[in-house]
Structure 1
């Protein structure tokens, strides 16, 4: 076993603290990654509070991981020592169901995915521990190649926020001539703006906060609509081909569905605490659709990383010491971050 250091939540709703544990040995198909940076996702907060249930504690969060490979198994084909690599939200799946065979492992139909943290390793039965740690052992099939051309700290959030927004844009073939609305300008929303704009779409940020307009335009948005302003909202009725909804707070979907053109689609990425209510007429009247999307498969995540390297797209971040992780959660709840906290894991040794 490999000794490892991390920060972990000892139990639900208990602040994170230093934690020593053991990783499995590097198997024939595994790589060992010395973690350099790990993004702080809002789902980390949900899980350490056990708001989604079935949490495994102690819990080491973190699924936006980048670092350098320091060891490879004897049968590893696609990586070598010294490569920069990334790990996203999953480290395994059944590998044999139709979704896995289609490269859509995130929708694994047999066992479900093995989460990078909060899951159970299939071979050992031990809990998986995430990226708020100094190293991680991952099967090469669930490991991503990361370009050294980009700032690694700013690449880390691409492994969740990036692929979560890239996948639906690709699934619905968003490109030139499309009008895309982005609801919410946070970790997910700011990536949706950058990616949709890079794909050639006209991008409008839909926000309750007028003071975010300058930031939205700087990120690449072409238009900005203050949704609390009835006249501004009216100006984009029946306007959008797609709306990327990143909001996890309760809201009235009807007002936003009316912004879709005929055959328009709202894609849900956020998870509100209560199920939204929608009157069927809001859909029927314009043959509109509501859809959902979950992260992306391994091949598509690699495609996203390559696309971002080609177009020089990275996340806007604030780097933090790991000792400040609990404070960062409080700031995240207040929206006091542009747009993603990223932990510098070198600070784990301080």
Structure 2
């Protein structure tokens, strides 16, 4: 199994402000090219693209290719579970939306302290094991966004877990909030296969500061900037798959070019990644990956990731007399809530995998753009 997985959280769109405006011709071409080059793994989820990712993958993948030619992963949304019947209802809906017949990989989605308590209360692991016994799940795991200590607890209490999906990238490797390295070491200690999410950290490691890019280009002029992030994750022991949210054919072709015949990183390449990490840490104000978990349910309909992206870009261009970020911000506020509309309910912070202080950072966004 080739180590590059097709992440379905950032599919190609015709309108970036409309998560359902799929560019179907491009998506179908990307799926076809991916399979033709020998890659097989597709990762979607119940809530991706305003709950339409599973359905659109039915059209682009499942209805167009023999079922045995690909592996499909999706997830039980623990953040939406209230009562036991919710699990059966959502699982049945996922089977209907995808038309897949069964799921090769099935995950309990986004386990953290709060969601794990829900999983335990509803016996969600037992539910998934029953589905596995029925042949509807081939491999069972979970995605995780919390401390290494909690991960160790979950894997100890649920040895039936076959794999874990972790946020691993060189920017977060020694971050004490995300704890990439520590979580990786726990999963490895338990002997679990590891699937990597956010290897490029929502595009952050695809568009690094100029100083960092020059550092990488001097070593390997022909290698793209994001290739360093994907290869870093794929070089780790026990990593069986690295997911990349590819939103264009250009991104897909680049990723396949170096992952088709994957070569693990050399020690000096890993050292260069850590040098780039240090440069980036000096420029990013808000480490948002644009997963959009914070947007669902926001009472003021604030496009939080979009505002943080503009804010980060604005700070990087602080010495220029004019920046375009202000214009983009004003465009968004015509359709969505402003940063200053935040009512500090903090439900967004409960769902943020990066543990960002969203409310406080929205205040900074408002101070920057709402002059």
Same fold (TM over 0.5): no
Name which structure has the greater RCO, CA cutoff 8 Å, separation 6+. Answer: 1
Q: Which has the higher helix share?
A: 2
Q: Which has the higher strand share?
A: 1
Structure 1 length as normaliser, TM-score? Answer: 0.30
